[in-house]
Structure 1
Amino acid sequence: MPNRSIPQPDDAQDALLAARVGKAIADRRRANGLTQAQLAEMIDLEQEAISRWERGTRVPTIHRLQQLSDALDCSVDQLLQRGSKRPNDQMANIAEALKGLDPDERALVVDFVQQFTDMLRSRHSGKGHRRK
């Protein structure tokens, strides 16, 4: 008889996804200056449901993800990409973070990222191996 108190690999991945989606919803809601109650009203839902999603205890259905993306003025992809390990998703998150910055600020961030990644690469090459 399996012990359900030890998370199974799929359960752990589901919990991680729920937490990432919840954080993306909360971050986007705050960026739009909305309270949980206001967002809930926009999609005809109880505020407690928004709270459960943001805490990662529940995951919105596909229908609710679409409603959230409309209310939060973003794509469903943006809600799902947060925390992804895929390089393309990570680049999309960085591009999103650069939005709203003036050209000088963007250049500063890009320069910092370049210098930081160069420093990390040189540390890895100094150890004689690449990190996976």
Structure 2
Amino acid sequence: MPTRRDPSTDEAQDALLTSRVGAAIAERRRARGLTQAQLAEMINLEQEAVSRWERGIRAPTLYRLQQLSDALDCSVDQLLQRGSKRIDDQLSIVSGALHGLDASERALVVQFVQQFTDLLRTQRPTRGKQRK
């Protein structure tokens, strides 16, 4: 018989995901140079709803997530992947952070990431062995 998760744990995880999605919406909106009111108008909604999403008070419905992805010129995945523990999602976030940088700036970021991960591995040698 499967065990059920503690509802309070699920609620905490939902709250965390709501907060992360809200932060992703805000980040995408700002990157596009839009105000909350402009984004709300694009999806035929009031500005206060966008504000509640961005503050992590409420989560958008699946329908609204699709509208947001269209308005923000991104995939629904990109709105949901923030805070994901999956390495592919994390790589996608890092890759997105490199957009808008020239080749030498990207090389600098890559060099920094390599040096920083090397440093972390030397400080915690068992961590690197466990994840191979």
Please indicate, yes or no, whether the TM-score normalized by the shorter chain is above 0.5.
yes
Count of residue pairs the alignment pairs up = 123
Secondary structure of the residue aligned to 2:127 is coil
Question: Which amino acid in the other structure matches residue 112 of structure 2?
Answer: F
Equivalences for residues 1-132 of structure 1 within 5 A: 8-125=8-125, 129-130=126-127
Question: Which amino acid in the other structure matches residue 111 of structure 1?
Answer: Q
Question: Which amino acid in the other structure matches residue 96 of structure 1?
Answer: G
Structure 1 residue 69 displacement after superposition: 0.6
CA distance in 1, matches of 2:89, 2:36: 26
Q: Residues 12-55 of structure 1: CA distance to partner in whole angstroms, max 9, x if unpaired?
A: 00000000000000011011111100000000000000001001
CA distance in 1, matches of 2:57, 2:100: 32
Secondary structure of the residue aligned to 1:30 is helix
CA distance in 2, matches of 1:103, 1:74: 23
Secondary structure of the residue aligned to 1:85 is coil
Secondary structure of the residue aligned to 2:118 is helix
Gaps of 5+ in 2: 1-6
Structure 1 residue 130 displacement after superposition: 2.2
Residue identity over aligned pairs, in percent, reads: 72
Structure 1 residue 99 displacement after superposition: 1.1
TM-score by length of 2: 0.89
After the TM superposition, which of the residue ranges 97-106 and 110-119 deviates more from structure 2?
97-106
After the TM superposition, which segments of 4 or more aligned residues of structure 1 sit over 3 Å from their partners?
none
CA distance in 2, matches of 1:100, 1:36: 23
Question: Which amino acid in the other structure matches residue 122 of structure 1?
Answer: T
Question: Which amino acid in the other structure matches residue 127 of structure 2?
Answer: R
CA distance in 2, matches of 1:116, 1:90: 16
